[in-house]
Amino acid sequence: MIYTSAPEFRVVLPNGGVLIGLDVGSKTIGTAFCDAGWSFASPADLIIRSKFSKDKLKLEAAIATRPTAGIVIGLPINMDGSESPRSQSSRAFARNIEDIGLPILLWDERWSTVAAERVMIEADLSRAKRAERIDNAAAAHILQGAIDALVG
């Protein structure tokens, strides 16, 4: 099932559980995981996009590394609150992985990449290192925002 509301998503996960966060782009999928108690999100492995069937297998392999209870996908919303073609792409991705069998939350990701990059600049990472890590850092930022809403 796909949810757009944190409270509705929370109802289907009464005991919490590990969540995977995804920043779905056209070339990569940034991933992050949170702990089962929903305290903190950490960047994980980057999935380089190819054919969807291969991307899905890589995602399923990542999910299999932890007892994952749900998926949080960043939903790119315009600053005025409207949706864009990228929003529709993220919605389609969610529909296409729905058969994995985990509940999915679409989470507003406005500013996630900017916030992740700001943290990396403050940590004095080089431009090359930031480019390597930005998608996973954005996934962690998306997931942290969602888990903060779920526990708050």
Q: 136 and 44 in contact (C-beta within 8 Å)?
A: yes
Total-model pTM: 0.86
Q: What is the mean pLDDT of residues 44-59?
A: 95
The rounded distance, in Å, linking the Cα atoms of 16 and 148 is 12
* pLDDT tens digits for range 5-48: 999 999 999 899 999 999 999 899 999 999 999 999 999 999 99
Alpha helices in 12-126 (DSSP H): 52-64, 85-97, 112-122
* pLDDT tens digits for range 63-104: 999 999 999 999 988 778 788 888 899 999 999 999 999 999
Half-sphere exposure of 116 (CA within 13 A, CB side): 28
